[in-house]
């Protein structure tokens, strides 16, 4: 069994396979891409695969890996362990199958994992896929939990299902000590199995707008009006994200426009909202960075969150945020210093807070948001923790 410290000092590191649910730019997917790139930059063999395609993402050319998916890059001699003899196999995996938990997809994952030493499963669908596909194999997996554990504990059925799946993982990561305590208590996970590693993003992926001309160019590229107050809303258009609340806020601010990036089951109904005429529905963006550069502020209206990646991304881009005070949102948004926090479900309070942010020194709030994010949520500060965890899991071998 390899020793992680000795292996690292000798130049050998485990080969990592990142697994995402699909190719869209959701929070879990964005983090997986950033971590994948940073590990490769550090000389560690890393690949990125999606369980299934996404309708909004153009398919890859026949015989080629999809953009940013399953691209392990050039292997650095001596960087893969014995469980990763053929990095090229990871390069060719691309999207693994037609659906997230289809039999063919699970077989594709099982095959791709043979070329890896450790799989990082980003998101709940990937947890189920790894638990099923990697059973009986020698490749351990780590479940990367980015949401609030309330999702897993809302009903008895969810607790039973979530616990059974998490026990199959070699380790589970979560975002805060409070979330770790909930997971350990609700699912009986043994001490040391749940690790706390903060949510983070690569700052280089979310550069701030370089002046007014850059902001206008970003708006033009997205088909957005140039000379208006523009608020960004990014997320799944699903009940818990409360786009309806965001549109109620917009209805109270007649001089403001809103750019909505996302898709979901409520889109058609909410497009008929009275304020929708001043909302620009962009669909799921292949890259949210241009929208951050285009926006004057970010609005988050969720009833339930963990540590939202969109808030970190916006802050790195120098964009102040107005957000509902749920989950651990206040770890990213400092009320009155980098934006504003409001109790959930109150459109009037949200509208007042947003109006105040838009009317005050937005540049100052944005600069403070960026400084806070660089100090607490920049990816480079936590990659050592990820490398250490991966090495420990590799050394311990498959979970039993």
Tell me the mean pLDDT per 10 residues along the chain, length 400: 39 87 81 92 94 65 37 36 38 70 94 95 92 95 86 75 90 93 88 93 94 95 96 94 98 97 94 96 92 98 93 97 96 96 97 96 96 94 94 82
Model pLDDT, residue 399: 58
d(CA 237, CA 283): 10
Pairing between β-strand 171-174 and β-strand 194-196 as defined by DSSP bridges: parallel
Question: Which residues touch 141 (CB under 8 Å, ≥6 apart)?
Answer: 19, 113, 118, 119, 120, 121, 130, 134, 168, 169, 170, 399
Of 362, 205, 364, 236, the closest CA to residue 301 belongs to: 236
d(CA 357, CA 339): 7
d(CA 21, CA 54): 9
Whether the CB-CB separation of 258 and 350 falls below 8 Å is answered with: no
Helices (H), the chain: 4-9, 27-41, 87-93, 103-113, 124-133, 150-153, 156-168, 177-187, 211-222, 243-251, 267-270, 289-294, 309-316, 347-359, 362-376, 383-396
Residue that the structure tokens 């695969």 belong to: 49
What are the tokens at 191? 């001490």
d(CA 291, CA 282): 10
DSSP-derived secondary structure for 184-208: HHHH-PPTTTEEE----B-GGGSPP
Model pLDDT, residue 233: 98
Question: Which residues touch 238 (CB under 8 Å, ≥6 apart)?
Answer: 264, 265, 266
Output helix, strand, coil percentages for the chain, rounded to the nearest 5: 45, 15, 40
What are the tokens at 43? 């000389």
Model pLDDT, residue 151: 67
d(CA 243, CA 269): 11
In three-state secondary structure terms, 338 is: coil
d(CA 114, CA 112): 5
* Maximum Cα interatomic distance, the chain, rounded to a whole number of Å: 64
* Cβ density class 371-396: b for 16+ within 10 Å, e for less: ebbeebbbbeebbeebbebbbbbbbe
* Number of other residues whose CB lies within 10 A of the CB of residue 52: 20
Model pLDDT, residue 152: 65
In three-state secondary structure terms, 285 is: coil
Question: Which residues touch 391 (CB under 8 Å, ≥6 apart)?
Answer: 4, 5, 7, 8, 13, 14
Residue 13, sorted as left (phi over 0), alpha (psi -120 to 50) or beta, turns out to be beta
Strand partners, 297: 231
What's the predicted TM-score (pTM) here?
A: 0.81
Whether the CB-CB separation of 221 and 290 falls below 8 Å is answered with: yes
Whether the CB-CB separation of 83 and 12 falls below 8 Å is answered with: no
Model pLDDT, residue 62: 33
d(CA 258, CA 281): 9
């Amino acid at each position: 069994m390899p020793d992680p410290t000795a292996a690292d000092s000798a130049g050998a590191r485990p080969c990592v396979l990142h697994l995402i649910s699909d190719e869209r730019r959701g929070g879990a997917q964005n983090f997986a891409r950033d971590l994948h790139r940073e590990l490769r930059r550090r000389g560690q063999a890393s690949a990125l695969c999606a369980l299934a395609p996404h309708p909004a993402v153009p398919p890859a050319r026949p015989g080629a890996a999809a953009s940013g998916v399953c691209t392990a890059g050039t292997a650095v001699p001596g960087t893969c362990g014995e469980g990763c003899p053929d990095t090229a196999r990871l390069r060719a995996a691309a999207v693994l199958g037609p659906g997230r938990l289809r039999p063919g997809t699970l077989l594709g994952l099982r095959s791709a994992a043979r070329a890896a030493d450790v799989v990082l499963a980003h998101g709940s669908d990937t947890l189920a896929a790894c638990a099923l596909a990697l059973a009986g194999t020698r490749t351990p997996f780590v479940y990367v939990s980015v949401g609030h554990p309330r999702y897993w504990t809302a009903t008895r059925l969810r607790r039973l299902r979530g616990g059974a799946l998490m026990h199959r993982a070699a380790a589970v990561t979560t975002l805060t000590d409070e979330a770790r305590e909930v997971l350990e208590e609700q699912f009986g996970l043994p001490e040391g199995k749940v690790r706390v590693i903060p949510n983070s993003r690569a700052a280089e992926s979310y550069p701030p707008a370089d002046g007014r001309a850059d902001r206008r160019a970003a708006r033009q590229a997205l088909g957005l009006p140039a000379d208006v107050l523009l608020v960004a809303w990014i997320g799944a258009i699903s009940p818990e994200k409360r786009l309806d609340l965001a549109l109620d806020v917009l209805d109270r601010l007649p001089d403001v426009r809103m750019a909505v990036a996302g898709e979901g089951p409520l889109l058609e109904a909410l497009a008929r909202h009275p304020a929708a005429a001043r909302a620009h529905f962009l669909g799921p963006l292949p890259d949210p960075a241009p929208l951050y550069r285009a926006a004057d502020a970010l609005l988050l209206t969720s009833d339930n969150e963990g540590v939202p990646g969109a808030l970190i991304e916006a802050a790195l881009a120098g964009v102040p945020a107005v957000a509902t005070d749920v989950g651990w949102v206040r770890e990213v948004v400092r009320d009155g210093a980098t934006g504003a926090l409001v109790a959930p479900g109150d459109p009037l309070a949200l509208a007042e807070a947003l109006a105040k942010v838009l009317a005050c020194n937005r540049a100052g709030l944005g600069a403070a948001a960026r400084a806070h994010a660089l100090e607490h949520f920049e990816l480079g500060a936590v990659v050592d923790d990820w490398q250490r965890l991966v090495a420990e899991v590799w050394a311990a071998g498959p979970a039993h």
